[in-house]
Chain A
Amino acid sequence: MAETASMAETAAIGAPRAAYPLDALALGARSIEAARLTALGPAARLAFRGREAAIQAAGEAFGVALPREANRRHTADGRHALWLGPDEWMLLAPGADPAPLFAAIEAATAGLPHALVDVSARSVTIEVAGPKAAYVLNQGNPLDLSIEAFPVGSATRTLFHKAEIVLSRIAPDIFHVDVWRSFAPYVWQMLEDGRRELA
Chain B
Amino acid sequence: MTNRFRTHSGGRIDRGAPVSFRFDGKTYSGFKGDTLASALIANGVHLVGRSFKYHRPRGFISAGSDEPNALVNVARDAARMSPNLRATQVELYEGLKASSQNRWPSLGFDAGAANDFVSPFLPAGFYYKTFMWPAGAWKRFYEPKIRAMAGLGVAPTLPDPDRYTQNYAYCDVLVVGAGPAGLAAALAAAAGGAKVWLVDEQAELGGSLLAERTATIEGKPAQQWLADTLATLAAMDNVTLLPRTTAFAYFPHNMIALAERVTEHLAAPGADLPRERLWQLRAREVVLATGALERPLVFPDNDRPGVLLADSARTYLNRYGAKPGDRAVIFTACDAGYRTALDLAAGGVAVVAVADLRREVHGELPARALAAGIDVRPATVVTGTTGRLRVSGARLAKIKGGPSVDPVGASETIACDTVLMSGGFTPSVHLFSQSRGKLAWDAASGAYLPGTSVERERSAGACRGITGLQRVLEDGYGQGEAAAKASRDAASPARGATPPPGPSAKTFPAQADDLGTDGFIGATPHARNPAFTKAFVDWQNDVTAKDITLATREGFRSIEHVKRYTTTGMATDQGKTSNMNTLGIVAEALGESVPKIGLTTFRPPFTPTTFGLFAGAARGDQFDPVRKTAIHDWAAEHGAAFEDVSLWKRAWYFPKALPDGRREDLHAAVGRECKAVRSSVGMFDASTLGKIEVVGPDAAEFMNRMYTNAWAKLEPGRLRYGVMLREDGFVMDDGVVGRMAPDRFHVTTTTGGAPRVLAHMEDYLQTEWPDLDVWLTSTTEQWAVIAVQGPKAREVLAPLIEGIDLAKEAFPHMSVREGTILGVPTRLFSVSFTGELGFEVNVPAQYGRAVWEAIFAAGERFGITPYGTETMHVLRAEKGYIIVGQETDGTQVPDDVNLGWAVGKAKKDFVGKRSLARAAMSAPDRKQLVGLRTTDPKLVLEEGAQIVADPKAPVPVPMLGFVTSSYYSAVLGHSIALAVVKGGRARIGTRLSVPMPDRVIEVEIVEPVFYDPKGDRLNG
* A–B direct contact (CB < 8 Å): yes
Chain A residues with CB under 8 Å of chain B are 8, 12-21, 42, 47, 49-51, 87-88, 99, 113-123, 135, 138-144, 146, 149, 161-163, 180-183, 185-187, 189-190, 193-194, 196-197, 199
- B163 CB contacts on chain A under 8 angstroms: 193, 196
- B774 CB contacts on chain A under 8 angstroms: 115
Give the nearest-CB partner of A16 in chain B. Answer: B850
Q: Judging by beta carbons under 8 Å apart, are A16 and B824 in contact?
A: yes
Per-residue A-contact encoding for B821-855, CB less than 8 Å = 1, 0 else: 01111000000000000000000111111110110
Assess whether B9 is interfacial by the CB under 8 Å rule. Answer: no
Q: Judging by beta carbons under 8 Å apart, are A47 and B777 in contact?
A: yes
Report Cα–Cα, A155/B829, bound state, in Å: 36
With both chains docked as a complex, state the minimum distance between the C-beta of A45 and any C-beta of chain B, in angstroms: 9
- B618 CB contacts on chain A under 8 angstroms: 161-162
**Would you list the 6 A-B pairs with minimal beta carbon distance, nearest first?**
A16-B850, A12-B823, A115-B695, A115-B775, A182-B627, A49-B775
Main secondary structure of the interface of B (DSSP, over half): mixed
Report Cα–Cα, A49/B280, bound state, in Å: 35
Report Cα–Cα, A142/B278, bound state, in Å: 13
Select A123's contact among B282, B624, B781, beta carbons within 8 Å: B781
Between A16, A120, A142, A143, the greatest number of chain B beta carbons within 10 A of the residue's beta carbon is seen for A16
With both chains docked as a complex, state the minimum distance between the C-beta of B167 and any C-beta of chain A, in angstroms: 5
Name 7 extra pairs, CB < 8 A, besides A8-B844, A49-B695: A115-B776, A119-B777, A139-B166, A141-B168, A144-B282, A149-B170, A194-B165
Give the nearest-CB partner of A9 in chain B. Answer: B846
Q: Judging by beta carbons under 8 Å apart, are B822 and A14 in contact?
A: yes
- A149 CB contacts on chain B under 8 angstroms: 170
With both chains docked as a complex, state the minimum distance between the C-beta of A162 and any C-beta of chain B, in angstroms: 6
- A115 CB contacts on chain B under 8 angstroms: 693, 695-696, 774-777
Q: Judging by beta carbons under 8 Å apart, are B628 and A182 in contact?
A: yes
- A17 CB contacts on chain B under 8 angstroms: 850
Report Cα–Cα, A14/B854, bound state, in Å: 12
- B696 CB contacts on chain A under 8 angstroms: 113-115
Assess whether B272 is interfacial by the CB under 8 Å rule. Answer: yes
Which residues of chain B in 588-627 are interfacial with respect to chain A, using CB atoms and an 8 Å cutoff?
617-618, 621-622, 624-627
Select A18's contact among B621, B773, B775, B850, beta carbons within 8 Å: B850
Q: Judging by beta carbons under 8 Å apart, are A162 and B625 in contact?
A: yes
- B961 CB contacts on chain A under 8 angstroms: none
Query: What are 12 of the A-B contact pairs (CB < 8 Å)?
Result: A16-B824, A18-B850, A20-B846, A88-B775, A115-B776, A116-B695, A138-B169, A140-B166, A163-B625, A186-B622, A193-B617, A197-B165
Which residues of chain B in 273-294 are interfacial with respect to chain A, using CB atoms and an 8 Å cutoff?
273-274, 280, 282
Give the nearest-CB partner of B820 in chain A. Answer: A12
Report Cα–Cα, A120/B627, bound state, in Å: 18
With both chains docked as a complex, state the minimum distance between the C-beta of B663 and any C-beta of chain A, in angstroms: 26
User: Interface size for chain B: under 10, 10 to 19, 20 to 34, or 35 or more residues?
Assistant: 35 or more
Number of A-B contacts (CB under 8 A): 141
Report Cα–Cα, A10/B163, bound state, in Å: 44
- B648 CB contacts on chain A under 8 angstroms: 182
Give the nearest-CB partner of A20 in chain B. Answer: B846
- B647 CB contacts on chain A under 8 angstroms: 182
Q: Judging by beta carbons under 8 Å apart, are A16 and B847 in contact?
A: yes
Assess whether B214 is interfacial by the CB under 8 Å rule. Answer: no
Assess whether B783 is interfacial by the CB under 8 Å rule. Answer: yes
Given A19-B630, A163-B625, A186-B626, does the pair A180, B168 have CB atoms closer than 8 Å? Answer: no
With both chains docked as a complex, state the minimum distance between the C-beta of B748 and any C-beta of chain A, in angstroms: 15
Report Cα–Cα, A170/B774, bound state, in Å: 32
Q: Judging by beta carbons under 8 Å apart, are B824 and A12 in contact?
A: yes
- A181 CB contacts on chain B under 8 angstroms: 630, 781, 845
Assess whether B922 is interfacial by the CB under 8 Å rule. Answer: no
Given A50-B775, A120-B844, A138-B168, does the pair A15, B625 have CB atoms closer than 8 Å? Answer: no
Report Cα–Cα, A117/B625, bound state, in Å: 26
Report Cα–Cα, A165/B145, bound state, in Å: 53
Q: Judging by beta carbons under 8 Å apart, are A122 and B782 in contact?
A: yes
Assess whether B629 is interfacial by the CB under 8 Å rule. Answer: yes
Q: Judging by beta carbons under 8 Å apart, are A183 and B779 in contact?
A: no
Give the nearest-CB partner of B851 in chain A. Answer: A16
Q: Judging by beta carbons under 8 Å apart, are B782 and A197 in contact?
A: no
Per-residue A-contact encoding for B847-890, CB less than 8 Å = 1, 0 else: 11111011000000000000000000000000000000000000
Which residues of chain B in 300-332 are interfacial with respect to chain A, using CB atoms and an 8 Å cutoff?
none
- B847 CB contacts on chain A under 8 angstroms: 15-16, 18-19
With both chains docked as a complex, state the minimum distance between the C-beta of B161 and any C-beta of chain A, in angstroms: 14
Report Cα–Cα, A20/B845, bound state, in Å: 8
Assess whether B697 is interfacial by the CB under 8 Å rule. Answer: yes
With both chains docked as a complex, state the minimum distance between the C-beta of B629 and any C-beta of chain A, in angstroms: 7
- A120 CB contacts on chain B under 8 angstroms: 782, 844
With both chains docked as a complex, state the minimum distance between the C-beta of A185 and any C-beta of chain B, in angstroms: 7
- A140 CB contacts on chain B under 8 angstroms: 166, 617
- B280 CB contacts on chain A under 8 angstroms: 142
- B777 CB contacts on chain A under 8 angstroms: 47, 49, 115, 117, 119
Q: Judging by beta carbons under 8 Å apart, are A146 and B844 in contact?
A: no
Q: Judging by beta carbons under 8 Å apart, are A121 and B775 in contact?
A: no
With both chains docked as a complex, state the minimum distance between the C-beta of B462 and any C-beta of chain A, in angstroms: 32
- A16 CB contacts on chain B under 8 angstroms: 822-824, 847, 850-851, 853-854
With both chains docked as a complex, state the minimum distance between the C-beta of B738 and any C-beta of chain A, in angstroms: 14
Report Cα–Cα, A122/B628, bound state, in Å: 13
Q: Judging by beta carbons under 8 Å apart, are B773 and A51 in contact?
A: yes
- A18 CB contacts on chain B under 8 angstroms: 846-847, 850
- A143 CB contacts on chain B under 8 angstroms: 168
Give the nearest-CB partner of A138 in chain B. Answer: B168
With both chains docked as a complex, state the minimum distance between the C-beta of B428 and any C-beta of chain A, in angstroms: 29
Q: Judging by beta carbons under 8 Å apart, are A119 and B782 in contact?
A: yes
Report Cα–Cα, A4/B432, bound state, in Å: 56
Per-residue A-contact encoding for B129-172, CB less than 8 Å = 1, 0 else: 00000000000000000000000000000000001011111100
With both chains docked as a complex, state the minimum distance between the C-beta of B398 and any C-beta of chain A, in angstroms: 61
- B629 CB contacts on chain A under 8 angstroms: 182
Given A121-B781, A161-B618, does the pair A87, B775 have CB atoms closer than 8 Å? Answer: yes
With both chains docked as a complex, state the minimum distance between the C-beta of A61 and any C-beta of chain B, in angstroms: 17
Between A8, A47, A182, the greatest number of chain B beta carbons within 10 A of the residue's beta carbon is seen for A182
Report Cα–Cα, A139/B118, bound state, in Å: 53
With both chains docked as a complex, state the minimum distance between the C-beta of A63 and any C-beta of chain B, in angstroms: 21
Q: Judging by beta carbons under 8 Å apart, are A117 and B695 in contact?
A: yes
Give the nearest-CB partner of A142 in chain B. Answer: B168
With both chains docked as a complex, state the minimum distance between the C-beta of B257 and any C-beta of chain A, in angstroms: 13
Give the nearest-CB partner of B821 in chain A. Answer: A16
- A180 CB contacts on chain B under 8 angstroms: 780-781
Select A117's contact among B167, B282, B693, beta carbons within 8 Å: B693
Report Cα–Cα, A189/B783, bound state, in Å: 24
Q: Judging by beta carbons under 8 Å apart, are B167 and A138 in contact?
A: yes
Report Cα–Cα, A138/B778, bound state, in Å: 27
Q: Judging by beta carbons under 8 Å apart, are B165 and A19 in contact?
A: no
Q: Judging by beta carbons under 8 Å apart, are A118 and B850 in contact?
A: no
- B824 CB contacts on chain A under 8 angstroms: 12, 15-16
Give the nearest-CB partner of B617 in chain A. Answer: A193
Q: Judging by beta carbons under 8 Å apart, are B850 and A99 in contact?
A: no
Give the nearest-CB partner of B630 in chain A. Answer: A19
